[in-house]
Amino acid sequence: MSTVFFQDDDDPVDIRRDNVFKAVFARDTPESSGALSGLISTLIGRDITIVSILANEPPVDSTRNRQIRFDINCRAENGELVNVEMCFNPSPFEPVRLEFHAGKLFTGQDIRGSDKHFNDLKSTYQIAILAKEHFFPDKVFFHTFEYFDPIHLISLKGKSRIITLELSKLADIVEKSVQDMSSAELWAVFFEYLTDRSRRDKINSIVEQEEGIAMASQVLLKVSRDEEERARIIRDEKIELDYQSGMALAKRNGHAQGRKKVLEMLNQVSTLEELENLKQRLAEA
């Protein structure tokens, strides 16, 4: 694969947007699957190859239909299960949400049958890349959580993990030379500073350094240069911002006026996926 670098006049879409993230990492192409395998290998600390993407709905071929879920649920060649997602605006309850989904990922495995037992369960990894906010009190951007006894510091040696990257903690890391960065730091800086033109030379150095990032860049540039795809991304963001504005207004005005605005928005969406998603989120508010 020939490496594709970002030129001065390139205007890549923000990969921290969850619909863009899925467009890059969940396509049925060698570059996309290679990028996904490279990212996950870095975060779990050993090489794995992703061989299939499970329950991949809505479709990834168009950002227009990615309004319901944006996570990438996939299986490695050794049977391990991984759920990876980009959270551009993570919720205040994000850590508990991750614990909930990690539990579902692990217990969703089927070990029924007289010839199976609990040791047949495969390891599972719930991975969240958190674009904004600090969730943990230290300055470390990369955490791996597992069950353990906090008093005696003994691990349960279980098979489920929660992995987080907090992109808001990279101010010092981005100043390091690319050669001195770990693979996790390379990926994190790539995600956070990709659209920062003042960091373009550093981003290109990262692309040259890390093969998985080079693959992701190739797919991202293809998406970014597609005028129809860009228009859909902008439209998705407008719907999201309109929704957030309506909900904020609801909180400020005793809900009534804001809810009226959100209900009006229901008549402005143009796809069934957008309509059902907005209705669901309104009902949960």
**Structural domain range at position 267:** 235-284
Lookup: tokens for 255: 């809900």
Both 128 and 259 in a single domain? no
- pTM to 2 decimal places: 0.79
Q: Are 145 and 182 in contact (CB under 8 A)?
A: no
Supply the pLDDT for residue 160: 97
Are 90 and 203 contained in the same domain?
yes
Strands (E), 146-221: 148-149, 154-155, 160-166
Q: Are residues 197 and 267 in the same domain?
A: no
Tell me how many domains the chain contains: 2
Q: pLDDT for 25-84, tens place per residue?
A: 999 999 999 999 999 999 999 999 999 998 555 554 544 443 344 689 999 999 999 999
59, 132: one domain: yes
Tell me, yes or no, whether 76 and 167 share the same domain. Answer: yes
- 60 DSSP 8-state letter: S
Residue 237 near residue 245 (C-beta atoms within 8 A):
no
Opening angle at CA 77, ends 76 and 83, nearest 5: 5
**Among 189, 206, 225, which residue terminates a domain?**
225
Based on the fold, state whether residues 57 and 98 are members of the same structural domain.
yes
Dihedral (CA of 284, 98, 236, 277) sign: negative
Q: Is the bond leading into 12 cis (omega within 30 degrees of zero)?
A: no
What average pLDDT does this structure show over 168-190? Answer: 97
How many percent of the chain have pLDDT more than 90?
59
Question: Which residue is it, tokens 């909900």?
Answer: 247
211, β-bridge pairs? none
Is 13 domain-assigned? no
Together in a domain, 166 and 277:
no
* Residue 206 resides in a domain: yes
Is there a domain that residue 4 lies in?
no
**Alpha carbon 61 to its chain's center:** 17
Residue 1 forms part of a structural domain:
no
Confidence at 178, pLDDT banded by 50, 70, 90: very high
| pLDDT per residue as tens digits for the range 139-157 | 999 999 999 999 999 999 9
pLDDT at residue 257 above 90? no
2 compared with 109, residue with greater pLDDT: 109
- pLDDT digits 0-9 by tens, 96-132: 999 999 999 999 998 887 788 899 999 999 999 999 9
Q: Are residues 59 and 175 in the same domain?
A: yes
> How many CB atoms are closer than 10 A to CB 42?
21
For residue 182, tell me if it sits in a domain.
yes
Q: Are residues 80 and 147 in the same domain?
A: yes
Q: Are residues 212 and 258 in the same domain?
A: no
Question: Does 175 share its domain with 256?
Answer: no
Q: Is residue 47 part of a domain?
A: yes
Whether 11 is in a domain gets the answer no
How far is Cα 38 from Cα 235, in angstroms, rounded to an integer? Answer: 30
Looking at the structure, do residues 97 and 154 belong to the same domain, yes or no?
A: yes
Any domain includes 10 = no
